[in-house]
Every structure is written in C-alpha cells, then in structure tokens.
Chains A and B, each alone.
Chain A
C-alpha cells in the first residue's frame, strides 16, 4: 500500500476523522505509524506483538478522537496512549514493568565487569543494528525505562508516574540499562573483531 497524498494538515485530518472520514484516519495513521510501531517494538522486542499493540493503540486513539480538544499536541496524546497500551499488556502478561532493584549498590566498583573486552572501546560510533539487538537483550524492566527515556524522550518524573516507581528507581534502572548495553555492545564488537 502506498501512502495517501497528504493534502490536508494534521489539524484538518483530526477534524475530519471526528466526522468519520476514512481518508482522514489514514492520514493520521501514516503520520504517526513509525513512531507508534517503533515504540511498541522496542518495548516488547517481538514484531508480531508490536503489530498488535500498535493496532490497539491506534484503535483506542481513533475511538476517542472525538474527545481530543487540542490542549496538548496530538502526537503527545498518541504517544502516551501507546505507552499505556504497552504497559498494560506487560502487566497482563505478568512481566515486570520495572526491575525489582531499587537503587544502585553503594559498594559497586567501577569500571564494571566487561566480559574480557577491556581493550574494546565504544567511542566513535555505534552500529545501529547492534544497538537494537542489545536493547532487545535487556531484561524487560531495564528495557522499559531505557526505551521510555533514551529512545522516546520521557523525563524521569513522567516515567515514574507511568510505570509506578519512584524517580530514584527510574534513574537507577536507566543507569543499569546503559551499563548493560555498554557491556553487550563491547562484547559484540569484540566478537566481530575476532571473526574479522
């Protein structure tokens, strides 16, 4: 399917969607599909699940579009709705939304265990595909906070409210997630160097 020509603005599409015009719904879908689907995919690491969640997020949006009054940006509204849909799905499946760890262990030493990659440096560039794979490997709790903060740009107070944790826990989870990602990426880079 090709994208429909966008001959109307987002605001016009919203008003027409409230009247039930299919083309308007389609315009809104194509405007935001990547953001919604990418968010779902990053958080659940499963393309089939991400499709279902993206579908549900858009359906909830379109069912409630009559109540949108423009007090906030449409994309912000959709963004939050998508996050709620995903978090609800995680909760229903009994998956941890955040890790059970509350704070950093005070006596952790730095630098962390590096899986024998002491001489491998990340600085310079990161392969995007490797980064995506590394994010997929994160435990669900770390992945949620990391995706919401570093990928989607939510602040810690917003994340804390959405997932039901403290701001301190959110920061701790994020830091742990980044440390794990660093370890994964260095390991991947070392493995790649070995195989040439």
Chain B
C-alpha cells in the first residue's frame, strides 16, 4: 500500500468501516511510514477533540427574553386559568356590535393556510395561479365555501387551520367582495394575503386593540419577509421539499397570527 492509497481509504477506516482486505495492509504501512502514521493520529485527534465542542457556548440572556416575548405575543404562553390557546367560535348572537368589521380575518386566515397547503402539496406550476386566481375575484360569500373544499391538506392540518377553515364559511355575511389572494399572482404560486389586507388587518388591530398594534406589525413584517425570501428560493429550486415545507410553515405562521388577532379583538 502506498501513501496515496492510505489517504484514499482513510475516510472509511477512520469512521469505523473496517475492511479486512485494507486493514492489514493499512496497519503495516503505518508501521513503516511516520508521515502517514502522524496523519492518521492527527485526524483521529481532531475528530475526538471536536466532539467536546458540542455544547460549549452559552447564548446571551437576551435570546430567552426574545423567545419569551414572542411566545407571549403568539399566545403560546398562558397564565394558569386563562382562556385556551385555540380560539373558541363565538355564536353570532353574542358578538359585540363592532365585531362584524373583523369578519374578514377568518377567511383570510383560511386562505393563507390554503395557499400554503397548495404550495407544499403540489409542485409549483403555472396552473396553481390559474386555479386559485378565479377564487380571488369571487365575493367572500361564495369564495369562503369554495376555499375549504379546495384545500387538500385541511383534513390533516393543525387544529388552528382546521378551525380557521371551519370558521370561514359560518362567519361570512353578505358584503362587498374581498380579494383574498393577489390579483397579479406570480407565475409559480399564489401568494399570501396582499399588503392591502395586511394594512386592513393592522387598522382593525389599531382600532380594537391599539396596545397590540406594534407587536402585530413587527410580527407581520417578520413573517412576510420570511415568506418572501423563502418563496424566492422555492421559485429557483422547485424540487427542494424542505424549502416548500418551510414556506408552508411560514404561511401557517401568518394564518396563526391572523387567527390570534381574531381571538384578541373579538
């Protein structure tokens, strides 16, 4: 065995994949070649010492502070005895007088999740925009019922998404149409609720729960940025399943944000 052969078989031998045919020749070569013997020793030392680095660094305290703040804002941290995390559907007769102005949040949340589900369950293709675009121009009274049946993943979706989909048809009164998806969707996928919808969402929050405006605005910016960046990546790499799942998660986060807001302002 020559020195060049040693380097070729080294990856297999160092990672515990002994090969009887190589092992003997390998060991014999090391006995007679100090350079290769040092190489093998050094590689094993580097590998062994590196394992000690697995949990050596302590994150700053601010990391937990930020995590806790985010968990509270998303309603995942709850005081004992407080309302359950998942929104309870309030019967129409018990809603306050001003509640109908927030009716559009539920179908938008459902549409966001539908868009995300469609992205993940189907390969991105022009027909996605074509199938979804007509729904965008329908009135909410007609589009809401069609959103739920068109969602292939709702049956397996999270409780929040299923609740959002179920809430949508029941909570839609007769009213002027609302565009729940972008009119000019990109060629590969239907996007999330438009910036006009986000602005309307923030106006509602400002009116009904002004103390939460800054928090929701910040979270909306963060999730929209995530969706935008991930969408661009997915457009460039349509075959990347992990990326599509990440995009789905981002859509789900946005739908959850809308749903939590609905819970707060009802």
Interface residues of A (CB under 8 A from B): 1, 19-22, 25-26, 29-30, 33-39, 41-42, 50-51, 54-55, 58-60, 62-63, 84, 87-88, 91-92, 104, 106-111, 121-123, 126, 128, 131-132, 135, 146, 150-153, 156, 164, 171-172, 174-175, 178-179, 181-182, 185
Number of interface residues of B (CB under 8 A): 60
The interface residues of chain A lying within 8 Å CB-to-CB of B63 are 33, 37, 51, 54-55, 58
Chain B interface SS verdict (over half)? helix
The interface residues of chain B lying within 8 Å CB-to-CB of A175 are 7, 10-11
Knowing A151-B50, A171-B11 are in contact, say whether A111-B3 is a contact too (CB < 8 A).
Answer: yes
Q: Does B246 contact A (CB under 8 A)?
A: yes
Q: Are A51 and B59 in contact (CB under 8 A)?
A: yes
A102 to chain B, nearest CB (A): 13
For A2, give the chain B residue with the smallest CB separation: B61
Q: Are A25 and B68 in contact (CB under 8 A)?
A: yes
15 A-B pairs whose Cβ atoms sit less than 8 Å apart in the complex: A20-B77, A21-B80, A25-B77, A37-B59, A42-B53, A91-B243, A104-B11, A110-B4, A110-B6, A111-B39, A121-B38, A121-B42, A131-B49, A171-B11, A174-B15
Bound complex: CA A25 to CA B52 (Å): 27
Q: Does B8 contact A (CB under 8 A)?
A: yes
Bound complex: CA A123 to CA B37 (Å): 11
Q: Are A88 and B242 in contact (CB under 8 A)?
A: yes
Bound complex: CA A69 to CA B23 (Å): 44
Q: Are A182 and B58 in contact (CB under 8 A)?
A: no
Apart from the given pairs A110-B35, A182-B43, 18 other A-B contacts in the complex at a CB distance below 8 Å: A1-B64, A33-B58, A33-B63, A33-B64, A34-B59, A35-B54, A42-B53, A51-B59, A88-B246, A107-B4, A109-B3, A111-B3, A111-B39, A132-B53, A135-B50, A146-B50, A151-B50, A181-B46
Kindly identify which residue among A30, A62, A128, A182 contacts B53, using a CB–CB cutoff of 8 Å: A128
Q: Are B71 and A62 in contact (CB under 8 A)?
A: yes
Kindly identify which residue among A33, A36, A50, A111 contacts B35, using a CB–CB cutoff of 8 Å: A111
Instruction: For chain B, residues 11 to 32, give those with C-beta under 8 angstroms from any C-beta of chain A.
Output: 11-12, 15
Instruction: For chain B, residues 210 to 238, give those with C-beta under 8 angstroms from any C-beta of chain A.
Output: 229-230, 233, 237
Bound complex: CA A35 to CA B4 (Å): 38
The interface residues of chain B lying within 8 Å CB-to-CB of A35 are 54-55
Knowing A91-B243, A126-B46, A172-B11 are in contact, say whether A51-B41 is a contact too (CB < 8 A).
Answer: no
For A152, give the chain B residue with the smallest CB separation: B54
For B59, give the chain A residue with the smallest CB separation: A37
A154 to chain B, nearest CB (A): 11
Q: Are B71 and A25 in contact (CB under 8 A)?
A: yes
Bound complex: CA A152 to CA B4 (Å): 29
Bound complex: CA A152 to CA B74 (Å): 31
A79 to chain B, nearest CB (A): 10
The interface residues of chain B lying within 8 Å CB-to-CB of A22 are 68, 71-72, 77
Q: Are B68 and A87 in contact (CB under 8 A)?
A: no
Q: Does B170 contact A (CB under 8 A)?
A: no
A46 to chain B, nearest CB (A): 12
B210 to chain A, nearest CB (A): 25
Q: Does B99 contact A (CB under 8 A)?
A: no
Q: Are A109 and B59 in contact (CB under 8 A)?
A: no
Q: Are B233 and A92 in contact (CB under 8 A)?
A: yes
Kindly identify which residue among B11, B45, B52, B76 contacts A122, using a CB–CB cutoff of 8 Å: B45
Kindly identify which residue among B6, B67, B243 contacts A58, using a CB–CB cutoff of 8 Å: B67
Bound complex: CA A182 to CA B39 (Å): 9
Bound complex: CA A87 to CA B233 (Å): 13
